[in-house]
Amino acid sequence: MSNKSKQIVFEKAPVYLRPPDLLEVQKNSYANFLQKEAPADKRALQGLQAAFVDLFPISNEDESLSLEFVHYTIGDSRFSSPEEARLFDKSYTVPLRATLRLVHKQTSGKVKVISEQDVFLCDLPFMTQNASFVINGAERVIVSQLHRSPGIFFEEDEEKKVSRFGRKLFLARVIPYRGAWIDFEFDINNILYVRIDKRRKFPATVLLRVCGLDKDEDILNFFYESHTHAIGKEPTLDHYAGKILAKDAVDPDGGEVIMEAGQRLTKESLVKIQKAKIREISLLDWDEKVSNVTILETLKKDPIKSRKEAVHFLYKYIRGQEFVIQQQAEELMDNLFFGRRSRKYDLTVVGRYKIMRKLGLIYDYLESRKDWKFKAPADSRRELAPEDIIATFYYLTLLNDDLAQWEFKGKKWPVVVDDIDHLGNRRVRAVGELLENQFRLALTQMSRVIRERMMQAQEKSELTPRQLINASVLNGILRNFFGSSQLSQFMDQINPLAELTHKRRLSALGPGGLHRKHAGFEVRDVHHTHYGRICPIETPEGPNIGLITTLACYSTVNDHGLLESPYRKVEKGRVTNEIVYLTADEENETIVAQANTPVDDKGYIATDLVSCRYKGDFPVVGVKAVQYMDISPNQVFSISTALIPFLEHDDANRALMGANMQRQAVPLLNPERPLVGTGVEANIARDSRAVIVAKRPGQVAYVDAEEVVVATDDKKQPLDIYKFTKYERSNQDTTVDYHPIVRRGDKVNAGDSIADGPSTDQGQLALGKNILVAFMPWEGYNFEDAILASERLVRNDVFKSLHIQEFEVEARETKLGPEEITRDIPNVSGESLAHLDEQGIAIVGTEVNHGDILVGRIIPRREEHLTPEEKLLRVIFGKKAEDVQDASLRVPPGAFGKVVRVQVFVRKEILGTKEKEKRRRDLDDEIKERLKWLGQYQEAATDLLDVKKKAGEVSAAGYRDEKEAIEVLVKERKAEIQNYRDREKERINRGDEVAVTVNRVVKVYVATTRPLRVGDKLAGRHGNKGVVSRILPIEDMPRLPDGTPVDLVFSPLSVPSRMNVGQLLESMFGWAANAFGVQMVTPVFNGATEAEIKEKIKEAREYLIKQGVPERHLPSEDMRITLYDGRTGQPFVEKITIGYLYVVKLIHVVEEKIHARSTGPYSLITRQPLGGKALFGGQRLGEMEVWALEAYGASHTLQEFLTIKSDDVWGRTKMYESIIRGEDPVRPGAPESFKVLIRELQGLGLSVELLKQRSDGAAVSTKSAQTPAKASKEKEEAKK
């Protein structure tokens, strides 16, 4: 569009790939989970389909009944759109039904299908076009989880570093996606132990026996080389002493085992062997210094000698039962680990992929051995195989041998521990996978109920699938997940950037993840594999730092859930246009050049040596060694970070603040695109759906505030109608409003912006304003980052924002009678009711302030027992007011504004005939008005076309086409109005959906404009934040030599120590951009250099001088100028840096925070004032505040704070009475908290007595001085 011509782009390295749709991770994940569009018989085994296939069929114990899954269907939502669901505070869901078949196997073996039925399972929350979910009327986001990938991982033992044999010790952990964890660990004696699910440990050789290495000799011969030796006469015996037996020495006559494998030969044992006439023995090729001691030492510790014993041992270990049946024990092993299609154990495809990458060569080696039948597990196997345990054992011995690499058949395999923070070992669980897990959990619970119902059934032939299924289990689990899971979050909707970033967030927290208290520094830190996958900048400050991260611009998630980043392939020094997506593991094995590496016209790298990345290092290599090249410097960063111009000149801590604070920017009434941008603003606006873009090319046929109609060349569907959301409230009370940026007759292409939304300008993201700033001190008003602002910003509504608050009230059915929404409210003046309509609801357009009634409501009081005379008097004088009390919805403290919308929902049973008729009449009037307006539009449009034709502006063919377009538009509009009428009539007949005990629900929306105020928080894009300390009159602000006052004054001390110099470069470049009237585009790490900035400032100066601006009115080339004090007219001593900075107003607006209380509600328990703005509470006076008042000697003030202003109930009452009577205040009494202290001391058995000082100085017990009468009696007795 035209605005593109007003840009000057400083991109150095051309970008060959634009970022993908920024919501594709969420949308693709949900689409793969649901597979809604795929036919039932062609659905892939993933998501919902996989959950059903894995958990069905469900059979009873004798397998006579079996419930089988056929297919599932997704219905249509009962709401026409997510907006309608939000309107009624409902969830936007679609019905999920499954076709299930119940099969009965008869004793004869004959199979009989009892019934096949369509069963309703649940209402499944459906993802909106914006990748969010509407749950109970609020938009929510399911955040993707970054967790440890399933597989086998090896680590160094941090506690027991070295064994007594001087060997390094390691840990191995087999982590499935579902199922028991298996941990291998060494002790100090180099014995290898195993723990299953962190229970007590046992020798690892027990598990080897279960895996098929039955006897000791099998284990020894598997892990060590051995040779057979002939036993000779006496002199040879010394030669074999100390050697280790590889096989049992068995007496050839009796079959008795003379000596077991694994034992060391001694002279005595050799003599025994010789006497038994054993001619050959098998010995291990053993060298004390070289050979691994793990197997031998572990076998010594292992009391079990066969597979059967091992299986029994594990059964007892897991089940805790002494009595073991062999078949049950074998079944347990299959169910827990090794069984095909085990429902309790699942490595998933990812886990198997990771295991094959780690242990692939060991599988090849073990398969090649002739002495052992070993078969590598198939890539599709999702259960653990016995071979996996053996290979893990083997790899641990290699690590224990301290081998750097292991060689087999010419292949070299690195023997290294795993880095758990490497992104090859962490994967993303996106929304689809998280939902699949919830379904699996629900179906597992349902299967138990189904089996119970099968067992309890009297007549099996009469059972149906519907009788077996309990849908409430699934509904409950889904409701719990979407409503209260740590990963289901209330959407951050302050502005489009906040919304988009929330959907691209990765969390290491949540179920199955880390806990912030236990997460160490290593997990939180930036890792070299984050490059191009996770942003190294954007993460929250505080306890979640590093645990919550954001996807980088180009990052995608592959089928295995691993993060990928795109690269251009380099072949023999030539950079091709082939794009390859690499995971962190794949990138580890490649040498990658940076995106700004110089390339000539033919695509060859233009330098002999190139700075590259390789495994976290930065070697300089020859051109031929380079394998890949980055796509763009942007690919390192997230979208928020990529919005910061001159990021390369900012300290990382401040860049983090800048990225985070942009998400807190309030949408302004008149947003403005930045003078200095980075080029990603349009992408973000489009992908966040903050702008409406044309789907097809065409010509704008009609425009108004609520819609744009584009006429296309398609004869079947000639019109594209784009409806706009108008003044909707967001989750954070900011405004969502769209308005057109095209005119009738404009030509548009597919992808062009036709309407701007919140925080957008001309199709670009526009979070703030371009402001003329100066960096200088001013009377101390910019102390500690405070900002001095000009009154022009208030007068011209520069930082004015619109906020919409929702207030809701319900009229319920109570035991005492129904609550009523009415205008007839007791003890309220007519003046206070003037703004209410006849129903008692505030009229749209009314201005309301704190305490004003929004909805009049009365609730019945408890009935009093009246005499017949009193009842008669009430009937005569109509004292109905005494039966009810006022419970109206009022504007809360601090709120004010204009009523912009009112919604009333009435339960069908309550909706009377009169009210229905009134609603129908109102609807008919609205329809007539719409049709009348449509007729006027058609008439006016046709007349205008006739005028154009007479003037010769339109050809005959053009006239015919345009007239036809008008007629089509009117026809479509009439059909739309008719549909709307039918829908609303049905709604009137049906009544509104409200809770059972609720009769009516009234929602009132109040819009408030918030201009800039002292106390508001402003920020730049470089982490340069501050609070407005004073708003000066325009004439008092420092001004330029030509008389232009600056708008904001920042502290110059805020720049050097924070090291965010990017703000200075931005302000300088912004000044040049403003002078030329263009937008400067300087991408991150790929933009304008200091020399280019200087050159542009020089050009801007020359341009303005040519325009007639005196040179003394312009800043120097370093952007410093002499400013004049607005109050005195005198110049400031030093030259001052000025420029245009992009400034945003943050959500922390002072009007929503400031709060004051004179009197208000008290707590019934403590008798102290409530706390917080929401409860109209007071300011707490804590221990340190008391010390401060004590230090000042303000004893009376302090006494008042701690008594009558706190919890001295008697003192409060007396103070009120004395104020009313105009008397001096009485002395305060004892506070309630003091009385509580006394009671507690008495409860400890201590006698506490209060003393009172008499006028003569003597202390008297308060008990003896309780009454004046008692005191006078004591005086008389004393006189006597």
Q: How many CB atoms lie within 10 A of CB 850?
A: 12
Summarize pLDDT for 611-658 with one digit per residue, the tens. 999 988 999 999 999 999 999 999 999 999 999 999 999 999 999 999
Structural domain range at position 929: 912-990
In this structure, the answer to whether residues 955 and 1057 fall within a common structural domain is no
Task: Give the lowest-confidence range in 150-164, 516-530, 1062-1076, 1096-1110.
Answer: 150-164
In this structure, the answer to whether residues 395 and 486 fall within a common structural domain is no
Among 290, 316, 331, residue at a domain's last position: 290
Check whether 368 has a pLDDT greater than 70.
yes
In this structure, the answer to whether residues 793 and 865 fall within a common structural domain is no
Check whether 128 has a pLDDT greater than 80.
yes
Long-range contacts of 1229-1238 (CB under 8 A, 24+ apart): 1229/1203, 1230/1203, 1231/1202, 1231/1203, 1231/1206, 1231/1207, 1232/1166, 1232/1167, 1232/1168, 1232/1207, 1232/1208, 1233/1166, 1233/1168, 1233/1206, 1233/1207
Report the distance separating Cα 199 and Cα 208, nearest Å.
18
| DSSP assignment string, 1095-1149 | HHHHHHHHHHHHTT--GGGS--TTSEE--B-TTT-PBPSS-EEEEEEEEEEBS--
Strand, helix or coil at 177? coil
Position 578 in a domain: no
Residue 705 identity: A
Residues 462-474, mean pLDDT to the nearest whole number: 87
More confident residue, 1 or 1074: 1074
Check whether 1273 has a pLDDT greater than 60.
no
Position 255 in a domain: yes
Strand, helix or coil at 803? strand
Task: Specify the CATH number for the domain of residue 1054.
Answer: 2.40.270.10
- What is the per-residue pLDDT for 1? 33
- What is the per-residue pLDDT for 387? 87
Strand partners, 609: 622
Check whether 714 has a pLDDT greater than 90.
no
In this structure, the answer to whether residues 1024 and 1115 fall within a common structural domain is yes
In this structure, the answer to whether residues 180 and 310 fall within a common structural domain is yes
Position 592 in a domain: no
Residue 1015 identity: G
Task: Specify the CATH number for the domain of residue 59.
Answer: 3.90.1100.10
Q: What is residue 864's DSSP assignment?
A: P
User: For residue 574, which of 603, 609, 607 has the smallest C-alpha distance?
Assistant: 603
In this structure, the answer to whether residues 155 and 140 fall within a common structural domain is no
Position 1235 in a domain: yes
Strand, helix or coil at 290? coil
- What is the per-residue pLDDT for 289? 67
Position 408 in a domain: yes
Report the distance separating Cα 622 and Cα 610, nearest Å.
6
Task: Specify the CATH number for the domain of residue 280.
Answer: 3.90.105.10
In this structure, the answer to whether residues 37 and 164 fall within a common structural domain is no
Check whether 840 has a pLDDT greater than 80.
yes
In this structure, the answer to whether residues 785 and 805 fall within a common structural domain is no
Among 495, 513, 531, residue at a domain's last position: 513
Position 608 in a domain: no
Summarize pLDDT for 25-62 with one digit per residue, the tens. 999 999 999 999 888 888 898 989 999 998 888 888 87
Q: How many angstroms separate the Cα of 445 from the Cα of each of 47, 63, 180, 438, 442?
A: 18, 19, 19, 11, 5
Strand ranges inside 651-800, DSSP E: 676-677, 691-693, 698-703, 707-711, 719-723, 728-729, 735-736, 739-740, 747-748, 753-756, 760-761, 764-765, 769-775, 787-790
For the entire predicted model, the pTM comes to 0.88
Instruction: Give the residue ranges of DSSP H helices in 370-495.
Output: 386-400, 431-456, 465-468, 471-484
Strand, helix or coil at 640? helix
In this structure, the answer to whether residues 173 and 310 fall within a common structural domain is yes
Position 1136 in a domain: yes
In this structure, the answer to whether residues 922 and 945 fall within a common structural domain is yes
Summarize pLDDT for 370-393 with one digit per residue, the tens. 777 788 888 888 888 888 888 998
More confident residue, 307 or 436: 436
Q: How many domains does the chain have?
A: 7
- What is the per-residue pLDDT for 1265? 44
Summarize pLDDT for 63-106 with one digit per residue, the tens. 788 889 999 999 988 888 899 889 888 999 999 999 999 888 77
- What is the per-residue pLDDT for 1237? 93
Residues 197-220, mean pLDDT to the nearest whole number: 85
- What is the per-residue pLDDT for 1053? 93
- What is the per-residue pLDDT for 1266? 46
Check whether 245 has a pLDDT greater than 70.
yes
**Sign (positive/negative) of CA torsion 645, 647, 651, 656?**
positive
- What is the per-residue pLDDT for 235? 46
Position 647 in a domain: no
In this structure, the answer to whether residues 857 and 964 fall within a common structural domain is no
Among 243, 266, 290, residue at a domain's last position: 290
Cβ atoms of residues 789 and 1012 within 8 Å: yes
In this structure, the answer to whether residues 846 and 925 fall within a common structural domain is no
Task: Specify the CATH number for the domain of residue 819.
Answer: 2.40.50.150
- What is the per-residue pLDDT for 339? 65
The overall average pLDDT reported for the chain is 87
**Strand 1025-1032 to 787-790 pairing:** parallel
